[in-house]
Structure 1
């Protein structure tokens, strides 16, 4: 099997009359060493079924196919989606039957849109402009995903993997932590892409775990997270006033959760946010006479 290099990528793009667009966040990987590294770091097993978002011209797809039972490539561009099976048939014919191409927007794809065999891993070079929403959407809608290895903008990688107290800790950090243990898995330079982006990239690894134990729903917890970081400079008492109805109500929820109302959102763990949401849910139920 042969992987795609810079010459093959450009020949293929010219053949298809494709020019990478910022609108779709397209930066094609042209370095075989990089795709091999991604596959290695992903920790895949022969029985895995990988969902790859935005396979583009197929650089990463070709490296994934020999390592797993199947690859579900979700591609929004109909020209690229039609070409991918042809590229695999040319460069890796012995693995062509492991590929399934789904023409869809990854932000909207649901289990019913995918093959019956559920994906166990997400490995992808994600478009910079939608990387966080795509990951969170797939974590929410594809519960079979147990592990993730994504390549994203370095700044996004830092935010996803940030711990409480970090300057870049925020909404993506907390929401990703709801689903998984998250870590930075290495840097990626600009020269491995065509066209070369104006920013560096990074690898992020996630391993799914159970969410915090709470009677609050995920939506209720995420509403607290959104409110807490909407005005980062404000104390939690002030930032959560609108969410709780009043500042005193926010303070009650915070104190009941064992959190100082003068703290700020970047100091809290996902478990802290769950406790805040849980108290408010219980209090609202009591006020309405449900509890």
Structure 2
């Protein structure tokens, strides 16, 4: 019997075996790795992951899929958690499931589109515990994720992804590769996490990301106006921008990750 995708969970099941293999090969072939999959659905990706890696933990919200996954993936190295991913404590999950401190952790997901941003920002929060994430997202979201400053798609998500990871647009996935067929094409993006920028902020990275999100709240306004909304002092905002060597009339999308970091640091010392 064919399993019906549920619209309320944003389900679109992958139906192409070649595509599944192509996605899984983006994870380095280290059998000892811990793989965490968000939204396994009917287990199309999961089956190959269980064959290739020593431990696979899947998070699935849909109760009706749990018996199917247990039936089709009856393996000692597979564990399923029937829970909403937005209520998962990722830090504790990773700590509990790692078999040793050196074990590399990879996150993989055919993302439920309606909670893509929430999952991404929750992933960033535990990026120091994850080696790499492989995400299938709407193509539009992928272009925002990998966008650079002054591009049409550059936003707070672009900055956050750049801050936490070496980001890469891997390939486009046409909508006819899914059942049911969605309205738009998707794309695979990879995020290889680093601490390239985090060291500069001495543990204030979450406050920095919150700052960037506030700046982008009014992306049509100048950086001076947006910064003044935070400082409530236009003269102070002008002084901080001058110190950071950022022109007052630039828009949020014109400013690089490095510039945002310097802007935040200069704001913090006021």
Normalising to structure 1: TM-score of the pair? 0.85
Alignment pair present for 1:76 and 2:61: yes
Moved more, 57-66 or 137-146: 137-146
CA deviations on 1:21-80 (whole Å, 9 max, x unpaired) are 222110011111111110012334212111100001100101111221211101111222
8 Å contact kept, 1:54–1:126 = yes
Which residue of the partner structure matches residue 27 of structure 2? 42
- CA distance in structure 2 between the partners assigned to 1:260 and 1:115 by the alignment: 45
Q: Say if 1:55 and 1:20 are closer, same or farther in 2 by CA, change over 3 A.
A: same
What residue is the counterpart of 1:174 in the other structure?
159
Q: TM-score, normalising length from structure 2?
A: 0.91
* Displacement after TM superposition at 1:113 (Å): 4.1
Q: Where does residue 135 of structure 1 map in the other structure?
A: 120
Counterparts of residues 185-224 of structure 1 (less than 5 Å): 185-212=170-197, 213-215=200-202, 217-224=204-211
Q: What SS does the aligned partner of 2:8 have?
A: coil
**Superposed counterparts of 1:238-249, under 5 Å:** 238-249=225-236
Shift of 1:227: 2.3
Match of 2:92 among 109, 112, 125: 112
2-structure distance, mates of 1:246, 1:215: 26
Q: Secondary structure at the match of 1:100?
A: strand
SS of residue matched to 1:155 = helix
Match of 2:110 in 1: 125
Helix, strand or coil for the counterpart of 2:158?
Answer: helix
Give SS of 1:124's match.
strand
Task: Say if 2:266 is the partner of 1:279.
Answer: yes
Report the CA distance between 1:140 and its aligned residue.
Answer: 0.8
| Paired position in structure 1 for 2:101 | none
Shift of 1:258: 2.2
Q: What SS does the corresponding residue of 1:143 show, helix, strand or coil? A: helix
C-alpha displacement at 1:137, in angstroms? 0.1
For the 8 Å contact 1:74–1:105, the answer to whether it is kept is yes
Gaps of at least 5 residues in structure 2 are 99-103
CA contact (8 A) 2:94 2:129 kept: no
Q: Give the Cα separation in 2 of the matches to 1:174 and 1:136.
A: 12
CA distance, structure 1, for counterparts of residue 127 and residue 78 of structure 2: 19
| Unmatched segments (≥5 aa) in structure 1 | 1-10, 14-18, 90-95, 284-291
Q: Distance in 2 between matches of 1:70 and 1:143?
A: 20
Take 1:262 and 1:268, find their aligned partners in 2: how far apart are those partners? Answer: 11
Partner of residue 256, structure 2: 269
Q: May I ask how many residue pairs the two structures share in their alignment?
A: 262
CA distance in 1, matches of 2:14, 2:207: 39
Q: Residue 122 and residue 35 in structure 1: after superposition, are their counterparts in 2 closer, same or farther (change >3 A)?
A: same
Query: What does the per-residue CA deviation read over 1:1-28, in whole Å, with 9 as the maximum and x for residues that have no partner?
Result: xxxxxxxxxx251xxxxx3222211001
**Deviation (angstroms), 1:230:** 1.2
